[in-house]
Amino acid sequence: MIKSITHNVVDSFLELIAPKHCCFCADKLYDNTDRINGYCHSCLEHLPEAPLSDLVHERLLHSISSDDIAINEIIGLTIYNHDLPIHNAIFDFKYHGISQTAYTLGILLGHKILEKHIMPDYIIPVPIHPAKQRERGYNQAEEIAKGVHTIIKIPLIPFALKRTLYTASQTTVTSSAARWKNVADIFNISDEKALYHDKTVLLVDDVFTTGATTNNCASLLLQHGAKRVDIAVIGITERL
């Protein structure tokens, strides 16, 4: 009884000095379930659907031939653009150090993957350069992947892929052609290459725009024996 009262007092004190806010709209969370989840139920209900996989494949054909597309299914939690609340959430975990938001959105993405009945052998996050990871303190794609792993219970391999060059962020590269050039030949695969032979892999990232980053990673995995590579992201942009 005393322990329960103490716990409630501590919770009340923390709520007073550091109230929880919705990762989407940034409003203060009053409902206990919303506070645990980290987002408003209303915001979740109004998340717009991500573009279908077939439409995203058509987008890839703007940049590469069908023979060079290494991605199979593309699953997105929602549409992404700067005017939607999802932008606030992604900005928080990429530039404000709020890694919990990435994990929270990963859990939502995990439920979306279950709806698609995709059961990979491994979950692999898209890597960032070690220098950027030291600067940020974590790889946001890995934090999302941890949330996905919590739901679909598939082995997560955090360091399967490596980023070998520090390049400009894709958000600073405006044209589609420049984005593809920016990530060409900058990824490598871990020494356990045989691990992926004849396996289905789920690549996890934050935002899908042109597909340059994820397709490069997927191509590398296929070259080393993977049978199929699907992509799961938080946001898919409406256009290139």
Cα angle 120-122-127, degrees, rounded to a multiple of 5: 125
* Four-way CATH pick for 48-237: 1.10.460.10, 3.30.710.10, 3.40.50.2020, 3.90.1580.10: 3.40.50.2020
pLDDT at residue 3, rounded to an integer: 47
**Distance between CA atoms of 69 and 3, rounded to whole angstroms?**
57
Is 196 within 8 Å of 36 (Cβ atoms)? no
Alpha helices in 61-128 (DSSP H): 85-95, 99-115
Which two structure tokens, joined as six digits, stand for 131?
């220098």
Q: pLDDT digit string (tens) for 104-131?
A: 999 999 999 999 998 999 999 999 999 9
Place of tokens 């859990």: 107
- Is the pLDDT at 171 greater than 70? The verdict is no
**Which is more confident, 60 or 170?**
60
**Distance between CA atoms of 153 and 150, rounded to whole angstroms?**
6
pLDDT at residue 228, rounded to an integer: 96
Return the SS3 of 141.
helix
Backbone angles phi, psi at 51, to 5 degrees: -60, 150
- Is the pLDDT at 168 greater than 70? The verdict is no
DSSP classification of residue 28: B
pLDDT at residue 179, rounded to an integer: 59
pTM: 0.85
Nearest CA among 49, 52, 28, 50 for reference residue 40:
28
Q: pLDDT digit string (tens) for 141-167?
A: 999 999 999 999 999 999 899 998 776
* Angle subtended by helix axes 140-152 and 99-115, to nearest 10: 40
pLDDT at residue 6, rounded to an integer: 45
Amino acid at 84: L
Instruction: Tell me what the pLDDT averaged over the chain comes to.
Output: 86
Residue 7 binned pLDDT confidence (cut-offs 50, 70, 90)? very low
Amino acid at 203: L
Section 63-89 average pLDDT: 93
Domain with CATH 3.40.50.2020 in the chain: 48-237
DSSP classification of residue 234: E
Section 56-71 average pLDDT: 91
- Is the pLDDT at 204 greater than 50? The verdict is yes
Is 112 within 8 Å of 204 (Cβ atoms)? no
Amino acid at 207: V
Which two structure tokens, joined as six digits, stand for 118?
């995709």
Q: Which positions ≥6 away from 51 have C-beta within 8 Å?
A: 76, 79, 236, 238
pLDDT at residue 155, rounded to an integer: 96
Q: pLDDT digit string (tens) for 207-230?
A: 999 898 999 999 999 999 999 999
